[in-house]
Structures are given as C-alpha cells and as structure tokens.
Amino acid sequence: MNIYLIRHGETDWNLIGKVQGREDIPLNDTGRSQARKCAMALQNTGIKAIISSPLTRAVQTANIIANTDDSIELIVDDGLIERDFGEMSGMTYDRRKYFDSFGKEDTMEPLDRLSRRLIECIQKYARRFKGQNIVMVSHGAAINSVIKVLSDGEEGSGKTRLKNACISILKYEDKELKLGSYNLSPGEFIDTILQDS
C-alpha cells in the first residue's frame, strides 16, 4: 500500500518565514490553490481515507483533497500535529538562528519523540487500512522527522526543505515502512506515477 504524506498548503506565516509550530494559522489563497493542485494529482490513486493533523492549515488542505470524492473517509488525529517549537514559535528564521545560540531549543519537542509519534500514527492507520492507499496531511518539521528516520539520516530534518503541499510516498509492506519519492510538487508526483506505471 502507498501512504501519501502531504505537507499542508502555504500560510501567511510560511510566506514571511515565521516558525509556526502549534500556532493555528489558516491557509492563504496560494495555499488553497496548492491544495487543489494536490487534490487533482491524487485523483486516480484509489485513496480510501485522509488522516489530518488537527491544525486548521492541515484540515483545510485535507478537506480540499477529500472534496474530490464523497467516498473518502476524513479523520483528524493529534498524532500528526506539528512539532511543538516552544519559545521559538512565531519567530522568523533569522531570529531563530540568533535564539538558538542561547540554548533555548530545550523548550522544543525533542526530535526523537516527534519522529516516534509520527511513525506510530502512520503505522496505526497503515494497519487499519491495510492494502488500501491513504493520504496523511501533516507539517514540515513533522514530515521531515519521518523522512530522516526512514532515510537513515541522509535526508529530512536539518537537510531537506519541504515545499508546501508537497507529496512524499511511503510504502507499507510486511509491517514495515519504506521511503519512496519525497518532497514532490503535484506535477512531479504525476510524472513519478506515470514513470512507475
């Protein structure tokens, strides 16, 4: 089965480079357009369910994708919520770099706990929808933590800047998660699917 792990569309905070964390920021017009393109790219993938983070930007992205097919089940799960950035939430990335130098990262959710939470959530729904393709909508830092684990640290956290509304493909086979292509724009996703068929 394929699990399509999707980062939410753009928000105004993404646009100005603010760390969002658990702040509940909605999609902007660009983000809604990105989500519609993502929905179109996923149309022929046989999705049975969409599981979303509870934050508004993720739920909006999930709803736009779900609107293409009335039979798709939509589930909201706290396990997909973004990393808690603690005192860094709301900062621009330039200020964050300055802030980092004073050791304030202690207020953040630890990376190993983040990746464990995400992977446990993904595996739970992979078992529930065994053999059926599903979509999971989450956030940049959260998805990157999964990519880091599944790529043995070659990609993901600290190395990969995920695009808004990008699609990463996870394979679930023999109770094991494997990383396929990742950080694909909707257009790149369509090209990848065509190459694989």
pLDDT digits (tens, 9 = 90+) for 91-107: 877 665 555 545 556 78
Helices 140-150, 111-128: inter-axial angle, 10-degree rounding: 80
Q: What is the CATH number of the domain that holds 19?
A: 3.40.50.1240
Q: What is the mean pLDDT of residues 22-32?
A: 97
Q: How far apart are CA 47 and CA 39, in angstroms?
A: 11
Other CB atoms within a 10 A radius of the CB of residue 26 amount to 16
Q: How far apart are CA 178 and CA 61, in angstroms?
A: 24
Could you tell me the residue range of the domain that residue 89 belongs to?
2-196
3-state SS assignment for residue 154? coil
Q: Look at the chain and report how many structural domains it folds into.
A: 1
Q: Go through the chain and tell me how many residues it has.
A: 197
Segments of the chain assigned E as strands: 2-7, 47-52, 73-76, 133-138, 167-173, 176-179
Q: Which residues are catalytic?
A: 8, 82
pLDDT digits (tens, 9 = 90+) for 139-160: 999 999 999 999 999 999 989 9
- Which secondary structure element, helix H or strand E, spans residue 50, and what is its range? strand 47-52
pTM of structure: 0.92
